[in-house]
Structure 1
């Protein structure tokens, strides 16, 4: 049964962005409720799985590097609170043409912020990582701070700490309607709740649900094929020999990311950073043959020590904005309806800071960061706001 108490905040969505928001609010002694439509844990959204990449390097988007400094510190806090290792440092290798933003911009940003890194060419690559094969025209930046986040462990830790700080988490309870006003009423499949503020961290369901609030944003869910490739020589791509990496080329039109053999014995995680457009409620019927063809050819060209047919394929969903920057803002009509959306496949690493920012918005506090890159009204010429 739904409770009659008025909450300081209701967070809709128990993915990593919603959980980090709720965790911050509960630590600040805000009476907070989290509502999740599916039974936890689940694999239908964007936060599940064992691993995610983290990094300081961020090409020409220096504001993310600024935010990542605190994100690393906040992961350390969660590690101490939970008593678990949540981060494995492997280094992050940026790969691209020598003058591409991912190489040039990452090196400049890392240099500016005093973050340990190396920039080198193909000869050094062959010495450091002989399992990789790229043309002479490519350049590389190794961000020594990069590594692996234990995604599923982070979600579990956030749930546990949120409850320890007095928060309430209800899963298998979908939100069906929101009635904004001085206080916000949230109707679910099991009852009704009232709060001073509501934070919508809806993942791929954001475009569907926000339309009920007369907000039509250019958010596009896409299906990502998460592929694992078997090593020809066991141990060659282990965490002590192989970094996490991100490659962009052709002006950013083609991107691939990878992680060492860590989740499954002898299997390396390498994925195309895009996929077919989907409805999140019908994600598995789309044709993704072009994704598999592209990533298999990529493995043949650049990772000759891996078998070019994936051993395991799983599914994740990105929710992309046109500029691939997030939405962190208030609803244009109702200031106590806060929206976190459009994380575009790179939001997990920034979730500790995103949660802090969304909590600040909900509490009416001054933001710790410049939120202009994340404003809803940047889409005012192309969307119904």
Structure 2
């Protein structure tokens, strides 16, 4: 294979999009001795999509048992990645979950945790006050811990996966926006820099998924949201710090909006705690940095939440960054083959909770591209659960 001029080569697989899902797909392909090209439209590293930033929550506790089963595999694969690269990617902190005592989501999470062999640690109000004196659990609320959860170092993880992929002979081409895809037994992908051919194509384009799929006559019911990633200053440095063993948390619909609020211990910025609203405003990914006048509604909601639950934080954010969610109508992923071209595989709609699951997502997309039976049940992720728009059969 001509690595110096990849356009002269025919690959086993081309992966479009070098976020965490595409990078893990490429990594698994290289592990399976597949000649793989990973194409990214922006200069790497970048902060335009959904995989940048210092930290993400990882956890076992999910409402859905299929995610819990996938997470068991993910914890093993994250540890394997740390061992291979000899870098730290994960810190064990535990995850605090709380909300109204009749919250259905929390009840489902507790049940799946029990069935998975990771039973929740139920906290009485006295337990809660003793463990977390700087958090104000409200009357009529319950709380419990996912003890195996923790913090993933996102940027470090992404760079590590890409480096290991290249160490195994994989090729990365950044600054190459795809301008055309021609399906066939050999798929041809054209960029401004050249044309590349492969036996299979995996599309993991994040917020740009539908703009890429438009070239192969397919549109998926995806919505792109701009999320405000907010950091709140501790009144006393270290109160909610990773170094002080403060956990990650999820408040389940605690502000009666239908959306969760989540947070991670202060670590990325000294003395600042990351707390975010698990929703945002619909936004074109090309216009994500255009901000309207005034304070967005989600930041107002977060400020009220901070006043109510975290008295040790200032109630105005000290830093506001942004990230993109690409959401499906049911917030479950799409992991499937194109309905006409079976050698084109799509991973999309990770809905703001996909990073922790990326080792297994990449494994599944790798298996689909190789024509193998996936190692996990993907029936919840098939695109035929939606009304799919096909413009024509190319």
TM-score (norm 2): 0.94
1:39 aligned to 2:43? yes
Q: Name structure 2 gaps, 5 residues minimum.
A: none
1:301 equivalent to 2:305? Answer no
Q: Please report how far the alpha carbon of residue 120 of structure 1 lies from its aligned counterpart in structure 2 after TM superposition.
A: 2.2
Q: Which residue of 2 aligns with 1:140?
A: 143
Aligned-pair Cα RMSD in Å:
1.4
Deviation at 1:193, TM superposition (A): 0.3
> Residue in 2 aligned with 1:275?
280
Q: CA deviation at 1:24?
A: 0.2
Aligned-residue offset at 1:293:
1.0
2:21 match: secondary structure: helix
Contact 2:232 2:318 (C-alpha < 8 Å) held by counterparts: yes
* Rounded Cα–Cα distance in structure 2 between residues aligned with 1:171 and 1:223: 24
Alignment of 1:316-355 (within 5 A): 316-355=323-362
Is structure 2 residue 75 aligned with structure 1 residue 72? yes
Whether 2:228 is the aligned partner of 1:212: answer no
CA–CA distance in structure 2, aligned partners of residues 209 and 101 of structure 1: 37
Mapping of 1:59-138 within 5 angstroms?
59=63, 61-138=64-141
For residues 60 and 178 of structure 2, the distance between their equivalents in structure 1, rounded to whole angstroms, comes to 36
Describe the SS at the equivalent of 1:235.
coil
Q: Does 1:21 align with 2:25?
A: yes
The answer on whether the counterparts of 1:91 and 1:243 sit within 8 Å (CA) in structure 2 is yes
**SS state at 1:309 partner:** strand
Q: 1:237 & 1:199 partners in 2: Cα distance?
A: 41
Q: Deviations over 1:98-137 (max 9, x none)?
A: 2323321121111111115301243322111111113221
- Counterparts of 1:134 and 1:214 in 2: how far apart (Å)? 50
Task: State whether residues 24 and 359 of structure 1, in contact with CA within 8 Å, keep that contact through their aligned partners in structure 2.
Answer: yes
Is residue 248 from structure 1 mapped to residue 252 from structure 2 by the alignment?
Answer: yes
**Separation of aligned partners in 2, 1:379 and 1:236:** 45
Pick from 370, 380, 389: which aligns with 1:384?
389
* Distance change >3 Å, CA 133–CA 260, structure 1 → 2: same
Matched, 1:192 2:201: no
Deviation, 1:47, is 0.1
CA contact (8 A) 1:116 1:145 kept: no
- Within the candidate set 258, 264, 281, 1:259 is matched to 264
Query: Which residue is equivalent to 1:170?
Result: 173
Q: Deviations over 1:176-221 (max 9, x none)?
A: 1110011100001100000000000000001222122221211011
Question: Contact between 2:253 and 2:261, CA under 8 Å: does it hold in 1?
Answer: no
**What CA distance in whole angstroms lies between the structure 2 residues aligned with 1:52 and 1:133?**
24
Q: How far apart, in 2, do the equivalents of 1:103 and 1:126 lie?
A: 20
CA contact (8 A) 2:106 2:252 kept: no
Does the residue aligned with 1:172 lie in a helix, a strand or coil?
coil
* C-alpha displacement of 1:374: 0.3
Aligned to 1:314: 321
CA contact under 8 A between 1:53 and 1:146: conserved in structure 2? yes
**Number of matched pairs:** 382
Matches within 5 A, 1:221-240: 221-239=224-242, 240=244
1:49 alignment partner in structure 2: 53
Unaligned runs of at least 5 residues, structure 1: none
